[in-house]
Structure formats: C-alpha cells, structure tokens
Homo-oligomer: A and B are copies of this chain.
Amino acid sequence: MNEQISINDTTIDSLGECTYPSPLKISKFIDDSQRIAIDIEAHLLEQSFHTTGTIASFENAGPRKKIFFNPETTRAAIVTCGGLCPGINNVIQGIVRMLNFQYGVKTIYGIRYGFEGLVKRYGHSFIELTPAFVHDLHEKGGTVLGSSRGHQDEKEIVATLTEHGINILFIIGGDGSLRGAYDIYQEVKRQKLPIAIVGIPKTIDNDIWFVDKTFGFSTAVSTAAQAIYAAHSEAIGAKNGIGIVRVMGRDAGYIAAYVTLASNEVNYCLVPEVHFDLEGPYGFLTHLEKRLYAASHAVIVVSEGAGQEYFTGPKETDASGNIKYGDIGLLLKDKITEYCKKRQIPVTIKYIDTSYLVRSVPASSDDAVYCIMLAQNAVHGAMAGKTGFVVGSWHSYYTYIPLSLVTKKRKRIDPNGYLWSMVKQSTCQPDFSPPQ
C-alpha cells in the first residue's frame, strides 16, 4: 500500500537521555522500542520480513517511565496556526490538563494569533494557560488563542522561545504550519537548544500522510451533512431542482466523499482527485440532463479543489502561500444554467457554500475524545524529550512520526480504491471521462 519507507524515515529525534522518573501514577508505560507496523496486510508483512528481515514501523506513542524534562522547571507553550477546525480548543485543554495535573508543569503559555505571536515585533502578549482558564474550552468551537496564516522567520521564533525560557512548543497546525514547525525544529537543532518541537496535525481536509484521520474531520462531515439535507430539500422542492453544496477539500475530497456516504441523497460527488469532463458524451452535464428527465432533481456535492482546471485566469495566493481556488460551485451553477438554457430545460439551482459553518462548530464527542488522546500523547512524547515529530493515529494506535516524513506529501483519495468505489456505488455516478 505504501511506498518504501526506510527505518530512517520513521526514527524520532530526541533531545537526550531521560533521567527524571515519570510522575504519572500508572502501572503501564510504553517503551521506545514498542513500535506499530506500517503495513499490516499479512502478505506485505511476510514479504517485507523475508526481504529486509524487519518490519517498517512507527514508534508507539504513550507515557515513558523516565522523562527528559524536569517538570518543576519546564515551561511549555502552545500555538495554533492556519484555519479553524473543530477540536482545536479541546487539544489545548488536553495539553494543559495533562501537563499541569499529571506532570506538574505549571508554566504554560498560550501564544496568540499563530506564529505571529512568537515574533516580537507583532507585539502580541502571551496568555497564561491554567486548568481554570481551559475549563470550559471543550464546549467551544474556534481557537481561544487566535490564529494566523503565513510563514514567519524561524530565527525570530526561536529567539522568542529562548528569551522566555520555553522548553516545549506544541504547534497545532496543518500542512503549511507543520512545515513551519519543521523549520523551527531545524533551527533549534542548529543552535543545539534543549527545546522540543511537537506538532499536532490539524486539517479539516484529513489529508495528512500516515495519519488515519485528523481531529475535527468527523465533526466537519456531520455538520456538512446538514447542508446536504438542505440541498436535497431544495432540490425536491422544485421541478428540476438542483442543489449544489461546496465543501472544504483543497486537494483531498474526503469531506465530500464521507458526506456522500453519510447522507444517501447525493447524486454527484466531485473531488479534486478525480477528473470530470463537463461537456461531451461522457461529461457531467450530459449525465445530469438524463437524470433530470428521469428523476426531476439532483444533489451535487463538490470539494473546493475539484475541477480547478476549468479556471483559466491568473492565480492569486493567500497569506499561507496557497493558491486561491476558483469557486467551483459557482462555475457549476453557471455551466448548468447555460447548458439547460440552451436546451430549454427549466431548472431551479440552489447553491450552498458550507465552509465557515463547518469548521467553527464545537467538536463532537468522538472528536473530543480523539483530541484528548492526541493531546495527552503529544505531552508524553514532549516530556520524554522527543522532538521534531507529530502525534497521529495509525491503525488505531497512537504513534509518533517525524515531521520530516509527514510533510513530504499529502494523503489523497485513491480513484481506484475502496472509498471512491463506495462513493460511486452510493451515487450511481459513472466516470465522467472517456474509458481508457
């Protein structure tokens, strides 16, 4: 399933020997040597064993018997970067509670407005994070710390860390921010500083490589499902009613795919990973026309990153350096309108753009539990002096994965894989391109 991963790729960096006993009052600790197989299909495992004498694996997350940092003197900081995602506040709460209650770390800074808050000239002050401050955070969407997009100079950031005596920096962020985290980690290493840099992957798109599922994703799907409900109501509420729902998903269509499976009312699911012809005998419009004749309505869900090849103008970029995508929902609306006008098919199109409604809701129970798990394991790793890694889940184990590996590429829906085949079965949609 996964391309060749070398043992180096999966090895976590460490700040040094663990000399302090863990203050945790538990009976089972995890040992660094405990690892989780990357591929778990039996024949792949056997093959790998026969070829290399070993099994590619990730380090198992969890509390270590001995830790690197002295809890009494340790100072931690938490920063949240990039767009909102359900569960950010839960992760913050989980980190603070674990550090304070279990490890006895009392100084925890909340960094304001993303990496900006670690760059002096912006003038943002820190927030003291205490159990009392985070008490209700699990009930709130958004991020209590504020966020921002864009790159900041890693040297300036490291200067701030040293100035305030910060030993551990938790970075809750997506692909771009994790690359920023990697740069900070490299700069810390260059300066040989005893500072742990720890990432907690945050992306509503669920597109982090080697992470089963990112936090907030399932909450996002369940919120997006309300838009499908609305679109379906609108669609059947008019003769030839068409409901278009645009959901998040710049390069990965997971939200679109899952909301399709969850809703049972989606007739077309369009994602960035799978090209669709608009025109022509295999085109989407041709198929839609037939469906309108047969069923008098249609529901379309489309990822924001789908069909970007249909936008031909010059591209802008946002503060994070991401290319601003054309609004594929509007384009579909226009193309359908034009197509149907030509053929004198009366249609009523309702377009719903879900983005900001989906990403700011409080985490579901599932995501709440998941966020605590990630937060606690991030703390365990950090206190043990591990650095330059993210905490993730893999085959339902919690794992530590080097930042260098997870930022190498992004997870995508496999157009030939199981998920996409299920989506097509659910929608009964064909491939919108000529057979090859």
Which residues in A have some Cβ–Cβ distance to B below 8 Å? 26-28, 33-37, 40-43, 45-46, 49, 54-55, 57, 60, 62, 84, 93, 98, 101-102, 112-113, 116, 124, 135-136, 138-143, 146-148, 212, 218, 221-222, 225-227, 229-234, 236-239, 241, 243, 258-259, 261-264, 348, 350-353, 356-357, 359-361, 364-366, 368-369, 372-373, 376, 395-397, 416-418, 421-422, 424-426, 428
Contact present for A36 and B28 (CB under 8 Å)? no
Residues of B within 8 A of A359 (CB): 230
Task: Select one of B42, B142, B146 contacting A57, CB under 8 A.
Answer: B42
Task: Select one of B37, B41, B102, B146 contacting A236, CB under 8 A.
Answer: B146
Residues of B within 8 A of A139 (CB): 139
Residues of B within 8 A of A49 (CB): 45-46, 49
Contact present for B238 and A113 (CB under 8 Å)? yes
Q: Can you pick out 7 interface pairs between chain A and chain B where the beta carbons lie within 8 Å of each other? A: A37-B40, A138-B263, A139-B139, A142-B234, A258-B365, A352-B356, A372-B422
A145 to chain B, nearest CB (A): 9
Q: A28-B416, A239-B148 are in contact. Are A365 and B222 (CB under 8 A)?
A: yes
A237 to chain B, nearest CB (A): 5
A10 to chain B, nearest CB (A): 10
CA gap between A414 and B361 in the complex, in Å? 33
Residues of B within 8 A of A233 (CB): 84, 140-142, 360
Contact present for A113 and B239 (CB under 8 Å)? yes
Contact present for A229 and B45 (CB under 8 Å)? no
Give A224's nearest chain B residue, CB to CB: B365
CA gap between A227 and B330 in the complex, in Å? 21
A380 to chain B, nearest CB (A): 11
Q: A42-B37, A372-B422, A426-B372 are in contact. Are A230 and B396 (CB under 8 A)?
A: no
Residues of B within 8 A of A262 (CB): 365-366, 368-369
Residues of B within 8 A of A135 (CB): 264
Task: Select one of B364, B417, B422 contacting A364, CB under 8 A.
Answer: B364
Contact present for B36 and A141 (CB under 8 Å)? no
A360 to chain B, nearest CB (A): 4
Contact present for A84 and B237 (CB under 8 Å)? yes
Contact present for A142 and B261 (CB under 8 Å)? no
Residues of B within 8 A of A238 (CB): 113, 146-148
Give A243's nearest chain B residue, CB to CB: B356
CA gap between A124 and B296 in the complex, in Å? 12
CA gap between A41 and B263 in the complex, in Å? 36
Residues of B within 8 A of A259 (CB): 365
